Structure 1
């Protein structure tokens, strides 16, 4: 007996009955299992992330007048453009971003190269030591620095007095307050960025350094033509993360100076906090938060265009 292969019957054999009848196939328990596993995370994300973000935007369109929320549309956003304190906070935040972040990343790059060098003995100990500040609580290390930089009884001014330097008004002078804030931020985040850069540095093939050496490149030439190009993705990552962190900075200036003296260390984060939890102007605080989010997005796109892969 001859078996005849029917293509249409063979094609229909592997098709579910619902699909052959023109109905969408039902999800079996096995297909639903992955969705059930991620459902708790989705719910938590929606409740604690999406809902607050959406409600914050709604709040930014209202203004509390006499205890009653009144819809004002974009009035809170137009108020930003005319608020001198907002521009002061933005300027102070920009100064930290332009001055402190490049210095910190330069130090982190140098530390990463040093941590990767075979000339450094006990490299693991140094890596741990420089990373430890990152696990220190923000408020805790802010209090420590406020004690160290105390003008009258601080350890730093005591050490400076031993070499004949007068007391420096670290936290009471507008300029020195900015410097103090920059020192605290650099101490806390440099080791963290150095570890990220080190992880990328260790993926650069050693053959590239050997080839550079054969071509006559010295230490600086190898760093310029091999190390820096190899670190480019990590530099982009640390730059974006540092930019986002700096624009959102709150703990350090609040603990060290409360935004003073004379608003010299007033950042956008501190100003947002003051409007929300001191003046209870939640609508305006929400508008500040969304303006900050837009600013972070714009700067992130610029950094990706400038430092990203140009292929």
Structure 2
């Protein structure tokens, strides 16, 4: 009958898909995403929820007892927590802006048409990022050793006395900041370089026609063009700094006199040295809240504006 209708010029009759096929088509996306969702729930959501549950318990004599918000009240009155937060804040406020400023300058230099062997030089600046955290932390601990380090030996040749890099509070912070800057500046510079190469050349040509000099082009064309990636790197650097653990653990163990004790290191000490997992979980949630607040502030002031 359908064939006769088609021969007669009538429109073909399309059969509606069966209910089973229609149901299978609706379930297909969920079936494909189910493995990823299950892994996310098992390795992300469950640990997050369990950590919050642990933060409501305290450890007494190896036994855990329900304490409600006692760990959070203890957190507010803990001077070592505030000291660790202050040390982390100093690194965040001093080292991160310096590192990002150096990365922007390095990216502009690497984008220069006058630079030769660009690929080799860019690879050289990116290579520190490939180095493992523990490996480069040990490297800097050896280089900055106050007694036998190469840095103090070179300073001695210049007539400068030995610097107590790892044994003085101020210089220990400087040492950690130098290590972080060496490791992450090239990485951020590569991100900025990718953005610079995507900026339209017409903007620079128009600015040059209007009589803008090199500094004015950098200020009014380059920096506004870099704004999205500056926000990205700032947020990533903030999160990484607030979670800082490997470098101070390897280089200074939080010393001297807790001058390089960071929030990540303090969390580790409570959880895996003193086995006070409830208090460590409370520190982790406090850290999460701090990261969230700073992220919102950064998006507020550097995000896209109408």
- Place the TM-score, normalised by the shorter chain, in its bin: over 0.9
1:46 Cα deviation after fit: 1.1
Cα distance between partner residues in 1 of 2:205 and 2:303? 27
1:16 Cα deviation after fit: 5.7
Q: Over aligned residues, Cα RMSD in angstroms?
A: 1.7
Q: Are positions 1:198 and 2:203 aligned together?
A: no
- Extract unaligned runs of 5+ from structure 1: 1-9, 19-23
Among candidates 230, 239, 243, match of residue 235 of structure 1: 230
Corresponding residue for 1:77?
72
Q: Are positions 1:278 and 2:277 aligned together?
A: no
**What's the CA shift string for 1:125-162, capped at 9, x where partnerless?**
11111111111100000000000000111000011110
Among candidates 113, 116, 123, match of residue 111 of structure 2: 116
Corresponding residue for 1:130?
125
Cα distance between partner residues in 1 of 2:117 and 2:33? 43
Corresponding residue for 1:4?
none
Corresponding residue for 1:189?
184
Among candidates 39, 43, 62, match of residue 38 of structure 2: 43
**What's the CA shift string for 1:45-70, capped at 9, x where partnerless?**
11111111110000000111222211
**What's the CA shift string for 1:84-134, capped at 9, x where partnerless?**
000000000000000000000000000111111111111111111111111
1:299 Cα deviation after fit: 0.1
Name the stretch that deviates more: 62-71 or 126-135: 62-71
Among candidates 59, 81, 88, match of residue 83 of structure 2: 88
1:37 Cα deviation after fit: 2.9
Map residues 200-219 of structure 1 onto 2, 5 A cutoff: 200-219=195-214
Q: Secondary structure at the match of 1:152?
A: coil
Map residues 217-256 of structure 1 onto 2, 5 A cutoff: 217-256=212-251
Corresponding residue for 1:292?
287
Corresponding residue for 2:7?
none
Could you say if the C-alpha distance between residues 198 and 301 of structure 1 is closer, same or farther in structure 2, counting changes exceeding 3 Å?
same
Paired residue total? 295
Q: Secondary structure at the match of 1:97?
A: helix
1:25 Cα deviation after fit: 8.2
Q: Are positions 1:97 and 2:87 aligned together?
A: no
Q: Are positions 1:62 and 2:57 aligned together?
A: yes
Corresponding residue for 1:27?
23
Cα distance between partner residues in 2 of 1:251 and 1:78? 28
1:35 Cα deviation after fit: 3.0
Could you say if the C-alpha distance between residues 41 and 17 of structure 1 is closer, same or farther in structure 2, counting changes exceeding 3 Å?
closer
Cα distance between partner residues in 2 of 1:310 and 1:207? 23
Corresponding residue for 2:302?
307
Cα distance between partner residues in 2 of 1:153 and 1:256? 15
- Extract unaligned runs of 5+ from structure 2: 1-10
Corresponding residue for 1:264?
259
Name the stretch that deviates more: 217-226 or 61-70: 61-70
